[in-house]
Amino acid sequence: MNSFLFCSLRKRGLNFRLVVCLRMSLALQPLGQAQDPVPPAPLQDAVERTAPRISEDPAPVKPARGFYRDGWKQLGPNVFRDQKPIWLFPVSVARGNHVLPTVTVVGITAVLVGIDKHTTGYFNRTNSFQDFNHGFSGPNTGWGTALVPAALYAIGLARKDNYAQETFFLAGRAVLDSEILTAVMKDIDRRSLPANGDFSDTWFNKTNGSYRAGVGSFPSGHTIAAFAVATAYADRYPNPHWRRLLIYGLAGLVGFSRVSLHSHYASDVFAGAALGYAITHYQVLGLH
């Protein structure tokens, strides 16, 4: 039958390409299949056979990376694990990592140290910030840095928001990492406080104070904690953009209050802000 069909088509002068296509289509028919054309299946049946099956029960959503199912138990071990990369950071810089940001921060800090006596002297002479200092006193900013994340954590518990709970533990971990570094640095530099009034030689001369909290003033403990908390929430809740500005703005006010209160030098505050951000952003959150 096939030979007869092709001979008839050639005699009628049909295009050679059509003949080849017909020959290939007939040759691809499975053995034993009837030569008579089979009516196509309905369109709906074809769609049902070819469409991928969607499970009625979707796979459970995995929690965010590092989610603390038992947060309080994991907080201590995570802080302990953070210490090695934090203290070995100078070795990493010596190997060529993070050189540009490190040089930038160190350079700005050095410039601020050079003009600390001028900026501190201004705040010693002016009374323009009395109301501000009353609202942003040391105890108030300390409690605020702790209570705001605690309130957000309570809201997360009430709403069963795992992401909010995780953010609280990440912020707490960042604060602990930052304060450990701050205490050791203060015990080493023993920088005298601006309230002493002697700006000629401020380094390595302060002897009184608690070694557990840090003797010196460099860097600012309030500022490093405020920026650690701010970075945790700003990085994990980046939208809308005004929220990040608000979070860092509040942390900046905490840092400014340390200078206007004569509790720290401007260089102490800048170093605290940079360290709080870096420890949280790069080490705790792992955002490289």
- CATH number of the domain within which 208 lies: 1.20.144
- Residue 47 forms part of a structural domain: no
Cα 186 from Cα 189, distance rounded (Å): 5
Considering the domain architecture, whether residues 136 and 222 belong to the same structural domain is answered as yes
pTM listed for this prediction: 0.73
pLDDT digits (tens, 9 = 90+) for 83-121: 999 999 999 999 999 999 999 999 999 999 999 988 888
Question: What pLDDT, on a 0 to 100 scale, did the predictor assign at position 10?
Answer: 45
- Residue 249 forms part of a structural domain: yes
Percentage helix, strand, coil for the chain under 3-state DSSP, each rounded to 5 = 65, 0, 35
Considering the domain architecture, whether residues 23 and 117 belong to the same structural domain is answered as no
Considering the domain architecture, whether residues 149 and 262 belong to the same structural domain is answered as yes
Considering the domain architecture, whether residues 9 and 98 belong to the same structural domain is answered as no
Considering the domain architecture, whether residues 114 and 15 belong to the same structural domain is answered as no
- Residue 4 forms part of a structural domain: yes
Considering the domain architecture, whether residues 9 and 84 belong to the same structural domain is answered as no
pLDDT digits (tens, 9 = 90+) for 23-51: 444 444 444 444 445 445 554 555 455 44
Considering the domain architecture, whether residues 132 and 19 belong to the same structural domain is answered as no
- Residue 40 forms part of a structural domain: no
Considering the domain architecture, whether residues 14 and 81 belong to the same structural domain is answered as no
- Residue 261 forms part of a structural domain: yes
Judged on CB neighbours under 10 Å (0-12, 13-18, 19+), 13 is: exposed
Considering the domain architecture, whether residues 16 and 117 belong to the same structural domain is answered as no
Q: How many residues does the chain have?
A: 288
Considering the domain architecture, whether residues 119 and 242 belong to the same structural domain is answered as yes
Tally of domains in the chain: 2
Considering the domain architecture, whether residues 114 and 219 belong to the same structural domain is answered as yes
Long-range contacts, 90-94 (Cβ 8 Å, 24+): none
Judged on CB neighbours under 10 Å (0-12, 13-18, 19+), 93 is: middle
- Residue 123 forms part of a structural domain: yes
- Which among 178, 171, 158 has a CA at the least distance from the CA of 236? 171
Give the domain range for residue 206.
71-284
Considering the domain architecture, whether residues 13 and 112 belong to the same structural domain is answered as no
Instruction: For residue 195, give the DSSP letter.
Output: G
The parts of the chain modelled with pLDDT lower than 70 are: 1-70, 196-198, 288
- Which among 136, 230, 222 has a CA at the least distance from the CA of 179? 222
- Residue 58 forms part of a structural domain: no
Query: What angle (nearest 5°) sits at the alpha carbon of residue 144, between those of residues 109 and 113?
Result: 10
